[in-house]
A and B are shown apart, each in its own frame.
Chain A
Amino acid sequence: MTEKTFDTQSPGGSFSVNKAARPDGELQGAARLLPQWLRNWRTPDVLLRLLSPIALLLLWELASQTGLIPQRVIAAPSQIGGTLWAMIASGELGKHLLVSLQRALVGLSIGVSIGVVAALISGLSKRGEVVLDSPLQMLRTIPSLALVPLFILWFGIGEFTKIALIVTGTTFPVYMNLYAGIRNIDPKLIEAANTLGLNRRELIWHVILPGSLPSFFVGLRYSLGISWLALVFVEQINTTAGIGFLASDARDFMRTDVIVICLLIYSVLGLLIDGLIRTLERFALAWRPTFVRN
């Protein structure tokens, strides 16, 4: 019912769109024969979005079945699915997942706590900045991986080393972002707060902390990702459980199906973590223009 007109006659040319309002209850042709619920049917967006991944999966399956992709390169989707089901049914996957989640969570909470405390100290006081900031900036550039041999020498190959490595990876993103967030608060707002007679404690509570919260969330996102990624190498050190262990074990036995399952778990968890943070932000940062709706 849309009528588009290109007017090529007039010197400048013009383009106009003429859209008639859709009359209610008036149906055209075959639509009249369909029942009401079917006429109102709209394919959910989610299903539409799934179409192309499903097509890719089918192609992959076909290539595997015909021998175009050998199993030692990558297993067929059907086989991966079968293995996944077997691992879930036997509780094996759940066990590894739980162990990994626990490690990530413990490391993350320690790392984020250290990062927040350090950022508050160096963000809120000049003296704190002098003392804390440069050593932290130096430590930050050391890759966590390079610390593995040292940590093993110091702390052995037990659980402590694993957690400690996750902590070193997750502290700095939170520290860097929160510190920058505190320092980048609009000085005009600080001035306004001063004219309103806020004392130091009120200034921190009502202005600086809420103002730096968006930056904190950026840091938290990075840290969550890192805590999860760190498991890959941390769980190759003397472990018998965890997703990282599962992946390296599968590599030794050339189980491409299990490797793919591990990768799948990483991406699904990445998605879940992102969703979690988004939900948190929606509540904590409800005032931001992107979330505000009238």
Chain B
Amino acid sequence: MSSIDLLDASKPAPVQLRNVVRQFGQQRVIDGLDLDIAPGEFVALLGASGSGKTTLLRSLAGLDSIDSGQLRVPKARAAVFQEPRLMPWKRAWKNVILGLRIPDAKARAVQALTEVGLAHRLEAYPATLSGGEAQRVALARGLVREPELLLLDEPFAALDALTRIRMHRLIIELWRKHTPAVLLVTHDVDEAILLADRVIVLANGKIAEQLSIDLPRARDTGQPGFQAIRARLLNLLGVEVEAPAVAQHSVASNTVRRFAHG
């Protein structure tokens, strides 16, 4: 949480939602939602399918409008989606600086790609990149804009387990360095607890519950308290788990712990 302390406390929250409603026909997908995200805060958004997570993220990204309420987001924001969404006809570095109107853009692209460990793939076309590499280019493309708000829509869902662990480390590292507020939409409860300062559970277009995660970083699934939070969140999501039993079992088998650095 050190990243938050460094920021100007007088600065208003970059994200402020008041009584936001979004409906498709009769169905209210977002139903009177209030949400604040502090500068540099890492928030994870959990929820069953159809709970309004993606709609909320799209509204924040400016891809979708709202029907009523108040929504304030910073102009400097970037989104990374489940698919990398790179332009196949542009080389990696050109993808990174697409839409960026600055002098000496290539140097910035090189810097951004070096940060995500892809200095050697500058000239690669997206078709030649692996899933993890492409997602890292997408991340570089987001961060090169120095966003105040970084929106992540299940960015690791399509990656294999090993790549995902590496991406978790990378995202924490980059978050520390660039200090954007982050909103991560995910299905993975473990991922949410490993990465976020605060986990929000969305149900029926409203915040059903939110938990501050005070576990010290670097976190791992075998950490004391981790399984209790996990059980609580799973219960909120409608999956019955016996909290203590799970916790004991997991502590016993250290080898299956999941880690996140940072």
- Residues of chain A touching chain B, judged by Cβ–Cβ distance below 8 Å, are 188-189, 191-198, 202, 206-207, 210-211, 213, 285-289, 292, 294
Q: Which of A196, A198, A210 contacts B89 (CB 8 A)?
A: A210
Is B99 a contact partner of A198 (Cβ separation < 8 A)? yes
Bound form: Cα–Cα A285–B88 in Å: 10
Listed by A's residue number, 17 A-B pairs whose Cβ atoms lie within 8 Å are A188-B81, A191-B85, A192-B85, A192-B86, A194-B62, A196-B78, A196-B98, A196-B145, A197-B145, A206-B90, A206-B98, A210-B90, A287-B89, A287-B126, A289-B127, A292-B128, A294-B128
Which chain A residue lies CB-closest to B125?
A: A287
Bound form: Cα–Cα A189–B89 in Å: 12
Count CB-based A-B contacts (< 8 Å). 60
Interface string of B108-151 (1 = CB under 8 A from A): 00000000000000000111100000000000010001000000
Chain A residues near B98 (CB-CB < 8 A): 193, 196, 198, 206
- The winner among A189, A192, A206, A210 for most chain B CB atoms within 10 A is A192
Contact A292 to B127, CB < 8 A, known contacts A189-B87, A287-B90: yes
The answer to whether the Cβ of B154 comes within 8 Å of any Cβ in the partner chain is no
Chain B residues near A189 (CB-CB < 8 A): 85, 87
Chain B residues near A288 (CB-CB < 8 A): 88, 127
CB distance from A125 to the nearest CB of B (A): 21
CB distance from B180 to the nearest CB of A (A): 14
Bound form: Cα–Cα A288–B145 in Å: 27
Bound form: Cα–Cα A294–B127 in Å: 10
Bound form: Cα–Cα A292–B90 in Å: 12
The answer to whether the Cβ of B193 comes within 8 Å of any Cβ in the partner chain is no
Chain B residues near A195 (CB-CB < 8 A): 61-63, 77-79
CB distance from A291 to the nearest CB of B (A): 9
CB distance from B171 to the nearest CB of A (A): 18
The answer to whether the Cβ of B188 comes within 8 Å of any Cβ in the partner chain is no
CB distance from A195 to the nearest CB of B (A): 5
Is B99 a contact partner of A196 (Cβ separation < 8 A)? yes
Bound form: Cα–Cα A289–B88 in Å: 9
Which chain A residue lies CB-closest to B85?
A: A192
Bound form: Cα–Cα A196–B89 in Å: 16
Is B83 a contact partner of A188 (Cβ separation < 8 A)? yes
CB distance from B83 to the nearest CB of A (A): 7
Chain B residues near A194 (CB-CB < 8 A): 62-63
Chain A residues near B85 (CB-CB < 8 A): 188-189, 191-192
Bound form: Cα–Cα A202–B141 in Å: 17
Chain A residues near B77 (CB-CB < 8 A): 195
CB distance from A197 to the nearest CB of B (A): 5
CB distance from A185 to the nearest CB of B (A): 10
Interface string of B60-95 (1 = CB under 8 A from A): 011100000000000001110101011111110000
Q: Which of A191, A206, A294 contacts B87 (CB 8 A)?
A: A206
Q: For window 45-70 of chain B, which residues contact chain A by CB distance below 8 Å?
A: 61-63
